[in-house]
Amino acid sequence: MDASDWHWQLVHRKTVAEDFSAHFTLREDERLFFERTEGRVILPVAVTPYYLKLADPLDPADPIRKQFLPSSKEFEVKEYESQDPLAEKKFEAVPSLIRRYTNRAVLRVTNLCAVYCRHCYRRGFAATGRKTIDRNGLEEALAFLSANTEIGELLVSGGDPLVLDDGVILEILDAIRSLKRHLLIRICTRVPVVLPQRITTVLCRELKKRGPLWFVTQFNHSREITGQSRQAVSRLISSGFPVLNQSVLLMGVNDSVEELTLLFNGLACLPVKPYYLFQGDLAAGTSHFRLPLSKGLSLYKRLSSSLSGIALPFYAVDLPGGGGKVMLPHVTVERAGNQWYAIEDYDGTRHRYPAE
C-alpha cells in the first residue's frame, strides 16, 4: 500500500495535536482545542495526508487548514446553535431515513467521514455511537420507501457513504435496486475533495451498473481542485454520472467574490455544476465560520452579475429547526431587531436567523 491507495490514506490520517504540530506552527486557539477537549462533546478530528498537504504550512490563516484543523472557537456555543440545527432527528421517518419533503428522502448509511470538516452541520451525528447501517436498519428503510411511493429520489448520505468498502456500498445499492429499479439515487460525498484516491475505476465500473446515479460533492475552495480531484471527478463523469457541487459559505475560507469566482468557474470547467452555495447552518460551535446574512446577500448579488448561469449556484439556507431549504434571493429577508433577521419561507412562515 502507498499514498495512492485510499485505504493507506485513511489509515494514515492525522488525528492528534502531535500529528499537526509536525506540519504547522499551531496557533494558540488550535493548541487550546487539543488541550481542552476533555469532557466536551466534540466532532472528531481526522484529515487524510492528501488533504493536509493542500494547506500551506506557512500560512496560519490558510483556507484549507481552517476546514480540518480545529480551533478552541468550537467551544463557543451560541444559545441559538444546536448539535442538530436542521432537526434531522425530528424528521427521521425510520432510523437512518430522513424525510422532510414528499418526493425525496435521505438515507444516512454511515456516520464516518474521511475528513471531519470543522464546519460540519451534522456534528451531533458524525462519528457518534452507531456507525454503519446494518441489515435490519436497511430493511426498515427500504420497507418505508416501498410503502411511500411518492418518494422518487433517494439521497445516500452520511457521514460519507464512500468511506465504506466497495462490497458494502454495492450491497446497499443492490438492496435499493431490488425494490426500486428506477429510483433516482443521489450520492452525497466529500470524498472526491478529501480522498480522491477512493474513486477507483473498479468502483465506477460497478456503480455504472446500478444507475440512475447522480453525485453531489463539496468543494469549498479553488485550491481543492487538483490533478487528483480532477481525475476523480472525470472518472465519475466518464462513467455517466452527472456531478453537482454544494459549497458552504465559510468565513476566512471562501468569503470573497474573487475566491468564489475562481471556485465556481473552476468547477464548471471540470465540468461540475455548482448547485448550492449554503449560508452556514446554526451548528454548535461554528459561529466563527458563519458570514452575516447581509454580507452573504451582497456577495451573491455581485456574483450573479459576473458569473454565467452554468457557474452560478443557488444561494440557499436550510431554515433552522427543520424549516427546509429556501433560495435566499427568492424570499423576503427582513431585519427583526438588532440581533435577528426574519426569513419568510414559501408558505409565508417567518423563521429567525441571527444577524451577527
Ligand X SMILES: *Cc1c(COP(=O)(O)O)cnc(C)c1O
Handedness of CA 177, 179, 136, 108 (dihedral sign): positive
Cis peptide, bond prior to residue 292, ω within 30 of zero:
no
Q: Is 56 a catalytic residue?
A: no
Q: Is 204 a catalytic residue?
A: no
Q: Which is nearer to ligand X, 116 or 121 (CB)?
A: 121
Beta-strand pair 273-278/243-248: parallel
CB of 191 to ligand SF4, least distance (A): 8
- The answer to whether 51 contacts ligand SF4 (rule: CB under 6 A) is no
- The answer to whether 351 contacts ligand X (rule: CB under 6 A) is no
CB of 308 to ligand X, least distance (A): 21
In angstroms, the CA 210 to CA 271 distance is: 22
Q: Are 185 and 154 in contact (CB under 8 A)?
A: yes
- The answer to whether 190 contacts ligand SF4 (rule: CB under 6 A) is yes
The set of cell numbers assigned to 290 is: 458563519
113 contact, one of ligand X, ligand SF4, none, CB 5-8 Å limit per kind: ligand SF4
Residue among 13, 51, 108, 113 flagged as catalytic = 113
Residue among 210, 223, 325, 350 flagged as catalytic = 325
CB of 53 to ligand SF4, least distance (A): 18
Footprint of ligand SF4 on residues 198-237 (CB under 6 A)? none
236 contact, one of ligand SF4, ligand X, none, CB 5-8 Å limit per kind: none
101 contact, one of ligand SF4, ligand X, none, CB 5-8 Å limit per kind: ligand X
Query: Of 254, 266, 261, 269, which Cα lies nearest the Cα of 305?
Result: 261
Q: Is 120 a catalytic residue?
A: yes
- The answer to whether 106 contacts ligand X (rule: CB under 6 A) is yes
CB of 352 to ligand SF4, least distance (A): 24
Footprint of ligand SF4 on residues 151-170 (CB under 6 A)? 158-160
Q: Which of 6, 68, 116, 353 binds ligand SF4 (CB under 6 A)?
A: 116
Beta-strand pair 314-319/350-354: unpaired
Quickly list H helices, 196-292. 201-208, 227-238, 257-268
Residue among 65, 84, 117, 341 flagged as catalytic = 117
Q: Is 59 a catalytic residue?
A: no
Q: Is 269 a catalytic residue?
A: no
The set of cell numbers assigned to 91 is: 424528521
Show the beta-strand stretches assigned E in the chain.
92-94, 97-98, 104-108, 153-157, 184-188, 213-217, 243-248, 273-278, 314-319, 324-327, 333-335, 340-344, 350-354
CA angle 304, 243, 107 (to 5 degrees): 110
- Contact flags string 73-102 toward ligand X, x per CB under 6 A: -------------------------x-xx-
The set of cell numbers assigned to 322 is: 427543520
Q: Is 188 a catalytic residue?
A: no
Footprint of ligand SF4 on residues 230-269 (CB under 6 A)? none
CB of 152 to ligand X, least distance (A): 11
Q: Are 262 and 225 in contact (CB under 8 A)?
A: no
Residue among 101, 180, 223, 275 flagged as catalytic = 101
In angstroms, the CA 21 to CA 80 distance is: 33
155 contact, one of ligand X, ligand SF4, none, CB 5-8 Å limit per kind: ligand X
Instruction: Identify residue 44 by its one-letter amino acid code.
Output: P
Q: Is 275 a catalytic residue?
A: no
The Cβ of residue 12 has, within 10 Å, a number of other Cβ atoms equal to: 14
Q: Which residues bind ligand X (CB under 6 A)?
A: 98, 100-101, 104, 106, 155, 325
Q: Which residues bind ligand SF4 (CB under 6 A)?
A: 113, 116-117, 120, 122, 126, 158-160, 190
Which residues are designated catalytic? Answer: 100-101, 104, 113, 117, 120, 122, 281, 318, 325
